[in-house]
Each structure stands twice: as structure tokens, then as C-alpha cells.
Amino acid sequence: MSSLSACLLFAALLQLCPAQVLFTDLAGGSGAAGIMFDLQNRTNVPLLVSGLDATFLAPGTADVEIWAVAAGGSYASVANSPSSWTRIGLSNSVNHPGPGEPVRIPTTLSLTIPPAGTTGLYVTATSATGSALSYGLGVPTSLGTVADSNEHVATTFGVGRSFPFGLTFGLPNVGRRFQGRIHYQVPPRFETNDSELFLRIGGQEGTAVFLATTRICVGAGSVVDFGGSNAGSPFDFAIAPGAALPLGSGALVSPGGQLLHLDLNSSLLFASSGTSIPGALTLPSASNLSFVAPNTAATVVLQAITLSAAQPDGWALSQAAELSIAPPVTPPSSTAVTDNRSFPVSVGCFRWFGTDHTQVFVSDNGRVVFGGPDGNPVPTTGAALAGRPMVGAWIDFLPLSGSSITVTSPQTGLVRIDWLNQPYAAAPLIRANLRLEIDVLLGDVIISGLASLPPCPPSQAFSNSMWLGASAGFGVATDLGPTPFAPGASGSTGLELLYQTGPAGPLASGVNTVRISQAPGGLAWMAF
């Protein structure tokens, strides 16, 4: 049985399918005992939902139930019909923190969502202390529209519900946004490297679920690595314009189960100067080829082939390695007008903690978030560990008349974000200015204006009113204590969490600017 066939039996062979996570926006708004919403499968393969994290309005202990529409489909048509639902998870005495910090509901789910299918979910606390779930509020007409999503799954704006199947909140127009995480698994869709044949660009190694993708700026350099254990056999690799084709969206499957991700209808360029595959090249055990990207934005995909007696096809394919050449983007000026929200800003190509990003999300609370929006106003280390990757001087600002956020690009490859005339939420009469710059070409982030921040007391009932630094976020960051930023000081960390906390203003005494650079295995920093 091929790995693809095995993974399609994922309910029985769970370990063959890598786990993935959908993060949601954690900006608060309201809450109730429970929430009903739809979970949509955006792929052409089945998905298995294996777990769920929820967020609560206040610390406490809760008994939590998770229900799903028994026959599949949206919650909307059966919201008031309990017999149409089945309970798929139950966990008693769940200890949970407050807003902005999702907690795993310790019950294993086994919910299958068919390709392009939808299943309604009902997540609810039953009886406990401080058990109300936190959810975000939508905007008029948002009910039923997508709230949070990635390439695989999406949640929709749903409705709040008291327990059990009680009062409804959010009708008819203003939906409720589930806040937490959805854990799910998907079957393989891409070819992977093996010992016989490998092909990498910029050291990126793909998996059966995620394509090996390298994004570089125009004029930047990179390296193609290739080779294999079957050294000396005929070998070639082809370059095709456009994106790699995944299984179900154009990839060809060989009789032996290998996946070809090139578009054979496009103009292919062969490394052996146009000879047929396999060409006149000889497979090395390992080699590399340095190159400089042209001054033209483009996307190309490479895939290698060699003769192989070990494969049923008689030949072996490498993984597909995709290269995107993107110019630095000059973003337009932007202004945030709502509290505890974030908005996207294009950055062209910027790598943060090993992941390439074409856009970042600028929060009105003094930070930049990667991978999706997050308007959480409470600057805590726990939230930095549990949330998305981020960087900045995290402060609970309160947008009022005269305050703004501007985004400019004063030079090629530099994105500048200014929080101007921002009132502190805990002291609205005190206003502050802050600047964060993303150096796309160098991969650095510069936070400045710290010396001019006026003192502000802690807010939101927490001991800190500011969290300064960077985090790799959920599942990666490790907290071994704060870093003492001081004028003229520098250092590095491989722990993927770099921070200092305290009251805004005197937090980093004498320090105006902190420059954070991406070093091998972690981060490097300088304060001045």
C-alpha cells in the first residue's frame, strides 16, 4: 500500500498523517456558555479533526462538551434540533486561563470532514465556575461568512448559545467568532525526497503535506542542492514556469504511485540542455549550484528524475522544489480605526522563524503578527507563547480621535510602521508614539521610539503594561526568562523567545532602539 493509500485510511492509521493547526483571531468581544459555527474543508481530500482548544472570558474550571452535526452540513439548519447533533467530545474539570490564552480541551476527537465539505460544531461549557467561552464579535452581515482560515480549513461566524441548546446570540446579522485552535490532519499530497534522489532550493525540504517552497527577492542569491545514493545513473531535472501542481489539482500519478508536479503543457527547461528525461547528466552523490535571481518576479518549480531499479516505475522522482522570486513591496499608507484589531500589510518576501511571508498583520497594540490576525490587547508572556509568531513593543493602546497607524516604505525593502499619538488604554490622557521597521532584504526588525514612551501603569489587571521582543509562538517558543535590554548591550538566543516585560516607559531604561536579527538557530539582538 502506498503512503497515500494508507493515509486515506487516516481514521485507523492516524500516525501516517501529520498534524496541523488552524489558529483563530483571539481579540475579545463577548462570550457565552457556548458557540455554534461551521468548519469547512477547503481541500479535495478528507480531513480528520483530532482536537480543539478553546478560550474563556476568565480563569476558572469548566466541564466542556463538543458536538457535531450528525449528518454533516451547516449548523444553521439544525441549530434548534438537538436530535440532529452527536456529542463527539467530553472533558470534565478543564482548568482554563483568561482571554487571549487558548487551552486544549483534553478529549480526542475523530471527526471526518469530506472533501470540500462543511460540518457544524457546538462547543459549550456545561456547569462550572468562570466557564463562559470567549468569542469575537463580527460586523453586520458577517453571519455565516469565513472568520479564520488557512489553505486547508476555515471557520465561519456563527452564534453564541447558552447551555443546553438555549438562548441564541448573534442573530440576525452580527456573527460570533470561535476563538481557539482547530487541530486536524490531512493525507499526503506532494512527492518527497528519498535516499535515491533529492532536490532542494535554499535548503528547503518539503513533506508529503507541504511543498518545499523558497521565496527570495529579485537579485538575491540561493543554492540548488541535488544528488542521491544511486550515483552514476542517468539523471536530469526540469524547470517549469508557474506553481507546483498538488495531487488533485493537476499532479500526475505514475503507475508506481509517484507524483509529478510539473505542468507538462508548459515550456520545460531541462538541465541537460534540452535532451530527453533522463538526460545526458550523471547523478552525483551530492552537488550544488549557486544562482542569482533575475530582476523579474516569477514562480518556477523544479523536479528531478533518475533511473532506478528499486522503483516499480523503473525511475525515481525527487520532491518538487518551488522557487518564488518576489520584489520587495512598497505598501500603501494604512490607518487602523478599531480597537484590538489588526490589518494585513504586504511585505513581498520576508522570512520569520524559518517561514516565508508575503504579508504581515499590524496590530493596533504595537506589534506585528505573522500568519494571521491577532488583536489580543493583553501583553503577557503566556499569550506570546500560545499565540502566533510576533514581534514588537506590545502595549494596550486605545485608538481615539487623532491617533493613527501609518505604513510607509521610505526605501526599497524597508517597511515602516508608525503608531502615532496613541492613548494608553489604562490612561487615555497619556499618548505615545512608537515605530517598527521591517528590513525585508536583511531579515531584521527594528523597534524604536522606546526612550520617548511616557510612563503608564499596568492595565487589564495584569502586572505588565508592555511586552517588548519577539516570539516564535505556539509549539516553538520556550520561556527561560526575560532578556535585560540595556544601552550598548547585545546578545543572542536559540530559544525562539526574546523579551522583557514591565510598565511602559521605564521598561528599558536608556534604550531607544532594539534591533532583532535572525541568527542561525535563533535570534540576535542589539540595544542602543
Distance from C-alpha of 26 to C-alpha of 237, rounded to nearest angstrom = 45
The domain that holds 126 is classified in CATH as: 2.60.120.820
Distance from C-alpha of 261 to C-alpha of 281, rounded to nearest angstrom = 21
- Between these two residues, 384 and 5, which has the higher pLDDT value? 384
Is residue 332, in this structure, part of any structural domain at all? no
**Domain identity same for 171 and 264:** no
* Mean pLDDT calculated for residue range 387-401: 92
- In tens, the pLDDT along 42-89 reads 987 788 899 999 999 999 999 999 999 999 999 999 999 999 999 999
**Domain identity same for 437 and 477:** yes
* pLDDT, the chain, mean: 85
pLDDT-based confidence at residue 186 (cuts at 50, 70, 90): confident
Q: What's the pLDDT at 1?
A: 22
Total domain count for the chain?
Answer: 3
pLDDT-based confidence at residue 183 (cuts at 50, 70, 90): very high
pLDDT-based confidence at residue 520 (cuts at 50, 70, 90): low
Q: What's the pLDDT at 443?
A: 83
Is residue 252, in this structure, part of any structural domain at all? yes
Is residue 271, in this structure, part of any structural domain at all? yes
**pTM greater than 0.75 (yes/no):** no
Collapsed DSSP state (helix, strand, coil) of residue 5? helix
Strand (E) or helix (H) holding 381: helix 381-386
Contacts 24+ apart (CB under 8 A), 79-84: 79/36, 79/120, 79/159, 79/161, 79/165, 79/168, 80/165, 82/164, 82/165
Select from 151, 185, 219 the last residue of a domain: 185
pLDDT-based confidence at residue 168 (cuts at 50, 70, 90): very high
Contact (Cβ atoms closer than 8 angstroms) between residue 49 and residue 105: no
**Domain identity same for 18 and 116:** yes
Q: What percent of the chain shows pLDDT beyond 70?
A: 89
Domain that includes residue 296, residue range: 198-326
The domain that holds 263 is classified in CATH as: 2.20.130.20
**Domain identity same for 207 and 351:** no
Is residue 190, in this structure, part of any structural domain at all? no
Q: What is the grid cell recorded at 462?
A: 495584569
Strands (E), 188-233: 198-201, 212-217, 221-227
Cell 487623532, located at residue:
402
Q: Is 265 exposed, middle or buried (0-12, 13-18, 19+ CB in 10 A)?
A: exposed
Which residues have CB under 8 Å from 29's CB, separation 6+? 134, 135, 136, 137, 177
Nearest to 93 by CA among 69, 125, 120, 54: 125
Pairing mode of beta strands 19-23, 34-41 = unpaired
- Between these two residues, 116 and 13, which has the higher pLDDT value? 116
Collapsed DSSP state (helix, strand, coil) of residue 141? coil
Q: What's the pLDDT at 225?
A: 93
Select from 185, 219, 235 the last residue of a domain: 185
Q: What's the pLDDT at 274?
A: 60
* Mean pLDDT calculated for residue range 305-321: 92
- In tens, the pLDDT along 208-267 reads 767 888 877 766 778 999 999 999 998 998 999 999 998 867 889 888 889 999 998 888
DSSP secondary structure string for all residues of 246-286:
PTTTT-EE-TTS-EE-S-TTS--EETTTTPPSS-SEE--SS
Which residues have CB under 8 Å from 450's CB, separation 6+? 393, 434, 468, 507, 508, 511, 512, 513, 514
- In tens, the pLDDT along 264-291 reads 888 888 877 666 666 668 899 999 888 8
Q: What's the pLDDT at 333?
A: 52
Q: Give yes or no for residue 359 having a pLDDT over 80.
A: yes
Q: Give yes or no for residue 354 having a pLDDT over 80.
A: no
Contact (Cβ atoms closer than 8 angstroms) between residue 144 and residue 138: no
Q: What's the pLDDT at 335?
A: 55
**Domain identity same for 149 and 250:** no
Distance from C-alpha of 467 to C-alpha of 449, rounded to nearest angstrom = 15
Is residue 419, in this structure, part of any structural domain at all? yes
Q: Would you give the end-to-end CA distance of the chain in angstroms?
A: 60
* Cα 105–chain centre separation: 21
Mapping DSSP onto H, E and C, the string for 482-527 reads CCCCCCCCEEEECCCEEEEEECCCCCCCCCCCEEEEEECCEEEEEE
Q: Give yes or no for residue 156 having a pLDDT over 90.
A: yes
**Domain identity same for 177 and 218:** no
Q: Which of 20-24, 210-214, 444-448 shows the lowest per-residue confidence on average (mean pLDDT)?
A: 210-214
**Domain identity same for 385 and 498:** yes
**Domain identity same for 411 and 503:** yes
Is residue 129, in this structure, part of any structural domain at all? yes
Distance from C-alpha of 179 to C-alpha of 24, rounded to nearest angstrom = 6
* Mean pLDDT calculated for residue range 488-494: 84
Distance from C-alpha of 209 to C-alpha of 17, rounded to nearest angstrom = 8
**Domain identity same for 297 and 442:** no
* Cα 8–chain centre separation: 25
Select from 121, 150, 185 the last residue of a domain: 185
**Domain identity same for 151 and 247:** no
